[in-house]
Amino acid sequence: ARDIFQGKNLVGFVSYLNANYTTEHQDVDSNLHLSALLRLCQHRSKRMLLYISELVFEKINSGSSLEQAFNMWSNEIKNMAVAVCQVYTMEKFIEAIGQIKENCLASVLTDVCKFYCVFNIVENIGDFLQFNLLTQEQIKLLKTAMYNQLSKIRPSAVALVDAFDFSDRLLHSALGRYDGQVYQALYDYAKLAPINSKEVHDSCKEHLLPFLKE
């Protein structure tokens, strides 16, 4: 933030903060263009950073130390840093898709990525409203588009998790078995439990039955 105010050029994962983002985000619409969604989130994170910086610097100018000012606004700083991490994950997701050569795979991951981006915008809609980055009409379009994405991902959902390539042993789950034989697996697991090794549990014999007979 200090360097931005001094007009210096930022590099690395914060280089997007150099951009001016003066335009409105008219390209954010029901098509969910990834570049438009990313730019919107980058804008949000820059606005949050500058907003927090002003609050911190105001506090310092009124006589507080940097540490006092930081502590005073630390919850807002936390939210701002989370927004920056969201930009990083979106950016790397989009970059990774750009490198995929198989069309079918790129297509399904693009749908997943679009959902990821729009879901994160909708979940944090308050920030976008605070800085006037979206209109009411755009929010309505984004929400509708987000729900439409669900039906696009739905046919590939099982393949998307099969691709993680976890063996049944690693999943260690009766519910998540590759063959889907869930209920038999639950019953087989129960047979292993030491608590089922005896028909009558010791505590029932020693405590419960005598108590009931009293």
Residues 126-165 that bind another protein (CB under 8 A): 147, 149-151, 153-165
Classify the phi-psi angles of 177: left when phi > 0, otherwise alpha if psi is within -120 to 50, otherwise beta: beta
| CB of 2 or CB of 213, closer to another protein | 2
Stretch touching another protein by CB under 8 A, among 21-29, 30-38, 132-140, 175-183: 175-183
Which tokens go with 191? Answer: 């047979």
Per CB under 8 A, the list member of 23, 62, 132, 169 interacting with another protein is 169
Any contact of residue 14 with another protein (CB under 8 A)? Answer: yes
The reply to whether 109 sits near another protein by the rule CB under 8 A is yes
Is position 50 an interface residue for another protein (rule: CB under 8 A)?
no
Question: Contacts with another protein: how many residues (CB under 8 A)?
Answer: 80
145-167 as b/e: b if 16+ CB within 10 A: bbeebeeeeeebeeeeeeeeeee
Asked if residue 133 lies in contact with residue 25, where contact means CB atoms within 8 angstroms, the answer is yes
Residue pointed to by tokens 């260690």: 172
Q: Which residues contact 9 (CB under 8 A, 6 or more apart)?
A: 15, 18
**Touching another protein, residues 110-129 (CB under 8 A):** 112-113, 115-116, 119
In whole angstroms, how close is the CB of 206 to another protein at the nearest point?
Answer: 21
Taking CA atoms, 75 is separated from 56, 82, 124, in Å, by 12, 11, 15
Please choose, out of 24-32, 136-144, 167-175, 205-213, the segment that lies near another protein by the rule CB under 8 A. Answer: 167-175
Does position 80 bind another protein by CB under 8 A? Answer: yes
